[in-house]
Amino acid sequence: MPLSPSTGAQYARILGIGAAIPSRVVDNEEMCTYIDSSDEWIQQRTGIVERRWVAEGETVESLSLDAARQAIDRAGLAGADIDAVIVSTVSHMLQTPSLAAHIAAELGTDGAAAYDISAACAGFCYGLAQADALVRSGAATHVVVIGAETLSRITDLSDRSTAFLFADGAGAAVVGPSDTPAMGPVVWGSDGDQYDVINMTKPWPEALQAGENSNIFMEGRAVFRWATGFIASAAQECLDAAGVTAEELDVFIPHQANNRITDSMLRHLTLPDTVKVARTIKHYGNNSAASIPIAIDAMLASGEAKSGDLALIIGFGAGLVYAGQVVQLP
């Protein structure tokens, strides 16, 4: 008996974007009550003036839901139209079941496929690549991709090499069929030789046995070198793969890791002054998988970016892993 393969849309696009910003503002002055640092040092090294942390009642689940509902609404869809939910997070504290399965039920999907991915700060771009493939293969018609983190729960507030950097938040995108090309090929990969450059202090069972939390630690200089060298080149590859020149680009949205990394990438890419560059780290900090969709949402809301613009997005982080693509903004 012949087998019928799945067939999908010719192209996929982002149909809607949503974001959820936690309510607690932690400025550098408050940060300096936890670590020996200064507002001047933090701003000069990272560009961060303040970051957002979850307040009482806010969780990685609630942020994910708020962002996803907004994205679905803006796409002109309802929960029942969604047939796959992908959540990228390192902050969901259960190994199983997935956060995505819970979110799929809360969104009112009709039993959508649901799974989490662990790709740290590259997670949103990994999720978009999968959504693009699912829609074009016919495995799904409308996919919600969520990047959500509550890194404040796994950050050691006495560690002066990480405490000032990490933050909380969620962003989401709905990806669906398109008549015209609107998502370039993903450029992605990993460098597991640098597995320990960003890692957790202990596996959870060991940490709990010792009465401790397991927190993120980072070799900042190694991350900085990798991001400003290899990742800057990967960003150029994203443009080349999509057949888009620097002059044709409207917006550049790198993962909001650190403003100095963004500055270094800009020097490498030699983008024209007309290209708008995301700098949401200033008020939101580094919220990992959430940083790119939050930046897209903020730039669309402020008018810095507009619907139809071509944006280069690229995420990179623990693994080490990275992923980027050129997308047309909804």
175 vs 227 by CB, closer to ligand COA? 227
Tokens 């997308």, located at residue: 327
- Per CB under 6 A, contacts with ligand COA among 79-108 are none
Residue 230 one-letter amino acid: F
Say how many Å lie between the first and final Cα of the chain, rounded.
43
Q: From the CB of 61, what's the least distance to ligand COA, in Å?
A: 23
Which of 23, 161, 209, 233 is the binder for ligand COA (CB under 6 A)? 161
Q: From the CB of 21, what's the least distance to ligand COA, in Å?
A: 19
Binding mask 286-325 for ligand COA (x = CB under 6 A): x------------------------------x--------
Q: From the CB of 35, what's the least distance to ligand COA, in Å?
A: 5
Count the Cβ atoms, other than its own, within 10 Å of residue 316.
28
Residue 49 sits in the site that holds ligand COA (CB under 6 A): no
Structure tokens at 65: 């839901």
88 vs 258 by CB, closer to ligand COA? 258
Binding mask 199-228 for ligand COA (x = CB under 6 A): -------------------x-xx-xx----
Structure tokens at 240: 């080349």
- Per CB under 6 A, contacts with ligand COA among 11-30 are none
Contact 317, 255 (CB under 8 A): yes
Does residue 15 have a cis bond before it (omega within 30 degrees)? no
Q: From the CB of 48, what's the least distance to ligand COA, in Å?
A: 10
| Residue 100 CA: distances (Å) to CA of 113, 169, 262, 310 | 9, 16, 31, 29
10 vs 161 by CB, closer to ligand COA? 161
160 vs 202 by CB, closer to ligand COA? 160
Q: From the CB of 177, what's the least distance to ligand COA, in Å?
A: 32
Q: What is the dihedral of CA 320, 324, 329, 330, to 10 degrees?
A: -70
Residue 37 sits in the site that holds ligand COA (CB under 6 A): yes
Which of 12, 28, 46, 129 is the binder for ligand COA (CB under 6 A)? 46
Residue 257 sits in the site that holds ligand COA (CB under 6 A): yes
Active-site residue set:
121, 255, 286
Tokens 């980027």, located at residue: 324
The stretch among 21-29, 106-114, 157-165, 268-276 that binds ligand COA (CB under 6 A) is: 157-165
110-125: burial string, b at 16+ Cβ within 10 Å, e else: eebbbbbbebbbbbbb
Q: From the CB of 228, what's the least distance to ligand COA, in Å?
A: 9
Between CA 122 and CA 255 the distance in angstroms is 8
84 vs 292 by CB, closer to ligand COA? 292
∠ CA(141), CA(104), CA(150), 5° rounding?
A: 115
> CA 267 from chain center: how many Å?
23
Q: What are phi and psi of 278, to 5 degrees?
A: -70, 135
The stretch among 41-49, 124-132, 203-211, 292-300 that binds ligand COA (CB under 6 A) is: 41-49
Structure tokens at 221: 């200089």
The answer for 174, left when phi > 0, alpha when psi is -120 to 50, beta otherwise, is: beta
Contact 252, 275 (CB under 8 A): yes
Which of 261, 277, 278, 292 is the binder for ligand COA (CB under 6 A)? 261
Task: Name the residues that contact ligand COA, by CB under 6 A.
Answer: 35, 37, 41, 45-46, 121, 160-161, 164, 218, 220-221, 223-224, 257-258, 261, 286, 317
